[in-house]
Amino acid sequence: MLVISSVARTILYISRSYVGSAHDFGILKDEFPPEKRWFARFKIRLDLGFLGFSDLYPCKQLYIPIKKPKKQALPLEAKEENKAQASQRVVVEHSIGGLKRYRVLSDRLRLRDPALYDSIVGICAGLWNFNLITH
């Protein structure tokens, strides 16, 4: 499942759930086909699971961590830059944590219908967004 959130922790988009293991970047390409200019007006913060994003999607500004070279240490400047980016990207993690406050998403859910699960996640996201604007 792919989650897109704003700087204010508001959940803007949740993809449908995928059965089994699915790579984050593969889900992004499936949900947002690269032919359109989906992110051209936005500043985007991603993790290393989205390497290659800049090749397919134009955006206003892209923040993605610097990958460590094989069998070498990451330079101190790169580590500091990655740490600064992570402190900005943590907002998305807080949004996901806000979703998991609802027990139906944090406990084991024994549903056989993925569409029902997607509806439950959408309702929880709406409740989380409502919680943000009322506090």
Domain borders along the chain are 3-134
CB 27 within 8 A of CB 20: no
pLDDT at residue 92, as a whole number: 86
61, containing H or E segment: strand 61-63
pLDDT in tens, 56-115: 999 999 999 999 889 899 989 999 999 999 988 898 889 999 998 999 888 887 888 889
Within 13 Å, how many C-alpha atoms sit on residue 17's CB side?
A: 15
pLDDT in tens, 121-130: 999 999 999 9
Provide the token pair at 43: 């500043």
Neighbours of 115 (CB within 10 A): 10
Question: Among candidates 129, 134, 131, 130, which has minimal Cα distance to 6?
Answer: 129
- The residue with greater pLDDT, 108 or 8, is 8
